Amino acid sequence: MTDNELNLTASYITALTSEHNPNEKIKILLSSLLSTFRQEADFPMQQTQNSVSSIITFSLKEISNMPKSFKKQFIANGLIAHVLKRKTSKHAFSYEIRYRKNGYHIYVTSYSLEIAKEKFLSAVSSDNLEKYRKQPKRVALNSFLFVTNEWLKFRKTNLNPVTLKNYESYCKRFLFPSLGGLPISSIKTIDISNIMATVQGRVYEDLRVVLNSVFKYALANSLISNNPMLLIPFKKAERNNRRALTNDELKKLFERLNLPEFKDYKQTFLILLFFGLRPCELEDARFEDDFLIARNAKRKAGKIEYKKIPICNQAREFLDLSAPIKALHRTDVLNRIFKRIMDDDTVTQYYLRHTFATVCQQYVRPDIVDIWMGDSSERLVGRVYTHFSDDFMLKQMQNVIFDF
């Protein structure tokens, strides 16, 4: 490399240190630069009968004419693009170079690799780059996609954020692929029935709620004259019976949480155990004096209410109460980690909440436990805590002992 290239590389590395995950990006950059000096086969990667797929690395000199913002992204991605060497006849090949990242879809082809590279560099020049930016699809007015997104926006203020996120995910996974582009007035019961036949359990329940609500919204806005959901039956999903962990399982939990591979999750799962939180309630939870304050996730119509749970003696012993409470992963990811910790696929993290309730009811009146759990709308902070003082609640919690 020349002195100019070395200086340019140094400046890019300095710039990358301010990026997210800089070490990984710098490693990719250096590895890509080093690969240009290796004497390897042109295409060492995936191979099929008629084509060979690999990556092609560009030098910093070659990308000098790229727009500044795109050049920074290209360097962060390792100065590489995908190349496919495809057999077109007995003695001829074509070379396809593709780059699909950061909203760009760049594709060039030629019978010569060098010419394909020249075409790619021309495509990413300042004059041509914007031609390859993916344009957002225009949503037809009153299509199912348009009306559903409008309904989600309408419900955003009075839906629990977790519920809203689930609804959005279900729409993208199950509804938009087949119904999204159709005028909502053209959708028939059979179209919906075909989708519902592919799902079951809680997904079926939630999809039916979404579809019924979307078509009611369309009906209220005179977009349709009838609701095609009327003949779609409601099927309540079978609920798995959850239980409390046994004493032996609690001992196992504590032992395995001390293992190096699981120590980062110790605080999270012990908070679920000692306070009976739902996993989705970790995000807004905090310690405040002698209590844990958490938003109750089971309030309907977007109503915001909080529960106030006293800190028991064992929680003080095992938890760092000065550390902020973090939701380390999505609920489903946490659940998989909990199964690994317990080395048992039959248990779920919700067993911790049931353990909390079971243990507390051995020492405290059930109605007080309900307040801590946030299970009943009539027993929430602001209504019942006017009758039960903080001192009273603390004394009640001091009676609770987890046996492990």
**Class of residue 53 by CB neighbours under 10 A (exposed 0-12, middle 13-18, buried 19+):** middle
CATH 1.10.443.10 residue spans of the chain: 247-399
- Measured CA to CA, the distance from residue 33 to residue 91 in angstroms comes to 32
pTM across the whole model: 0.51
Closest alpha carbon to 326 in 273, 378, 279: 279
- Given a contact cutoff of 8 angstroms between Cβ atoms, the answer to whether 10 and 57 are in contact is no
Mean pLDDT of the chain: 84
| pLDDT reported for residue 72 | 87
| pLDDT reported for residue 88 | 81
Residue 60 has pLDDT above 90, yes or no: no
| pLDDT reported for residue 39 | 35
Segment 322-352, tens digit of pLDDT: 999 988 888 888 899 999 999 999 899 999 9
Q: Pick the residue with more confidence: 138 or 125?
A: 125
pLDDT band at 377 (very low <50, low <70, confident <90, very high): very low
Segment 178-226, tens digit of pLDDT: 999 999 999 999 999 999 999 988 889 999 999 999 999 999 999 999 9
pLDDT (mean) for 353-380: 84
Measured in Å, how far apart are the chain's first and last C-alpha atoms?
Answer: 64
**Least confident piece of the model among 42-46, 162-166, 193-197, 352-356:** 42-46
Token pair listed for 274 = 């000692």
State whether residue 155 is helix, strand or coil: helix
| pLDDT reported for residue 53 | 78
| Residues sharing a CB contact under 8 Å with residue 268, sequence separation 6 or more, in sequence order | 282, 326, 327, 328, 334
Token pair listed for 262 = 């699981």
CATH 1.10.150 residue spans of the chain: 144-221
Token pair listed for 382 = 């602001």
| pLDDT reported for residue 89 | 80
pLDDT band at 144 (very low <50, low <70, confident <90, very high): very high
Segment 62-74, tens digit of pLDDT: 888 888 888 888 8
Q: Pick the residue with more confidence: 138 or 313?
A: 313
Considering the four listed CATH numbers 1.10.3720.10, 1.10.287.610, 1.10.150.120, 1.10.443.10, the one that applies to the domain covering 247-399 is: 1.10.443.10
> What single string gives the DSSP state of each residue in 7-24?
HHHHHHHHHHTTSSSHHH
Contacts of 94-101 spanning 24+ positions with Cβ under 8 A? 97/56, 99/124, 101/73, 101/77
Residue 44 has pLDDT above 70, yes or no: no
| pLDDT reported for residue 64 | 86
Token pair listed for 227 = 């609701």
Closest alpha carbon to 299 in 281, 287, 318: 281
Considering the four listed CATH numbers 1.10.287, 2.30.110, 1.10.150, 1.10.10, the one that applies to the domain covering 144-221 is: 1.10.150
- Measured CA to CA, the distance from residue 153 to residue 207 in angstroms comes to 17
- Measured CA to CA, the distance from residue 53 to residue 401 in angstroms comes to 62
- HSE at residue 151, side-chain half, CA atoms within 13 A, is 25
> Would you report the helix, strand and coil content of the chain in percent, each value rounded to 5?
50, 10, 40
Please report the sign of the dihedral spanned by the C-alpha atoms of residue 343, residue 346, residue 351, residue 355: negative
- Measured between alpha carbons, how far is residue 167 from residues 156, 161, 215, 333, 385 in Å? 11, 10, 15, 18, 34
- Measured CA to CA, the distance from residue 10 to residue 183 in angstroms comes to 55
Per the DSSP assignment, residues forming a β-bridge with 96 are 84, 109
pLDDT (mean) for 75-92: 84
Token pair listed for 283 = 């995000």
Q: Pick the residue with more confidence: 124 or 138?
A: 124
- Given a contact cutoff of 8 angstroms between Cβ atoms, the answer to whether 194 and 182 are in contact is no
